[in-house]
Amino acid sequence: MFQLIQDEADFIVIDKAPGVHFHSQDGSAGVVATAEARLGLKLYPVHRLDTLTSGLIILAKSSEAAADFTELFSRHGVQKYYLALAKGKPKKKQGKVAGDMAKARRSQHKLLRTMENPAVTQFFSASVDEGLRAYLLKPLTGKTHQLRVALASLGTPILGDELYGGEAADRGYLHAWQLYFCFRGQHFHILSGHPPGAQFALPGFGKLLDEEWGNPDSLEWPKP
């Protein structure tokens, strides 16, 4: 269900498996409750991942630490990088997706043309196999389903994300890959393991991470 990636005095970072609920529901324990039971700690979530999404989650060890993280997130002090795979050719290969978001039908959200309180996502993409592209995503905001909606708006919904029109697959191909932040005077760069999934195991994807995207904070990102 998860792997413990980092254990600090005030927080832990876990790597959540795909298809695992964040909160307990349907009579089964979510990843937070499971981590609390396994580690014998009271944990305080400071952000979350969708069920289909795998990757890094920060869990504070006290309400005070959680409040500090909440303030850090509110001033965009935590930079997150995600990996995704999608079939087809996007409307643009790199740049940004921005717009207000609103609830739609069937638990979906949709991207609007207005910009009052927009979701903003920067991205790069590259071909990794015939008809398949990888996406390196840098969300500048933290809206619900933001990355899933962003890729769907490009005409390339995430592979396995059937809610937004993605082709069926062994998992939803979205992974929270790297975190950069400064907490209580200490700088952290936290990297997850290689994401699980048959398509993430493609040689072209691994080569892309090794040769081009391995240090995403150093890339020349499109202007926000």
pLDDT tens readout for residues 35-57: 999 999 999 999 999 999 999 99
Structure confidence at residue 129 (pLDDT): 95
Q: For residue 118, what are its two tokens?
A: 């927009």
Q: For residue 164, what are its two tokens?
A: 């937004």
Q: How many helices (H) and strands (E) does the chain have?
A: 4, 12
Q: Is the pTM of this model over 0.75?
A: yes
Q: Do residues 12 and 39 make contact, with C-beta atoms less than 8 angstroms apart? A: yes
Task: Using the CB atoms, write b or e for 5-18: b if 16+ within 10 Å.
Answer: beebeebbbbbbeb
- pLDDT, one tens digit per residue, over 185-213 is 999 999 998 899 999 999 999 999 999 99
- pLDDT, one tens digit per residue, over 140-186 is 999 999 999 999 999 999 999 999 999 999 999 999 999 999 999 99
Cα(204)–Cα(208) distance, integer angstroms: 6
Q: Mean pLDDT throughout 48-74?
A: 97
Q: Do residues 81 and 139 make contact, with C-beta atoms less than 8 angstroms apart? A: no
Band the pLDDT of 2: cuts 50, 70, 90.
very high
**pLDDT exceeds cutoff 90 at 16:** yes
Is 50 in the active site?
yes
Query: In sequence order, what DSSP letters do the residues of 74-139 get, joined into one string?
Result: HTT-EEEEEEEEEES--S-SEEEEEE-EEE-STT-EEE-S--SS-EEEEEEEEEEETTEEEEEEEE
Average confidence score pLDDT of the chain? 95
Cα(196)–Cα(55) distance, integer angstroms: 10
Q: Which listed residue (10, 26, 50, 129) is catalytic?
A: 50
Structure confidence at residue 195 (pLDDT): 95
Band the pLDDT of 28: cuts 50, 70, 90.
confident
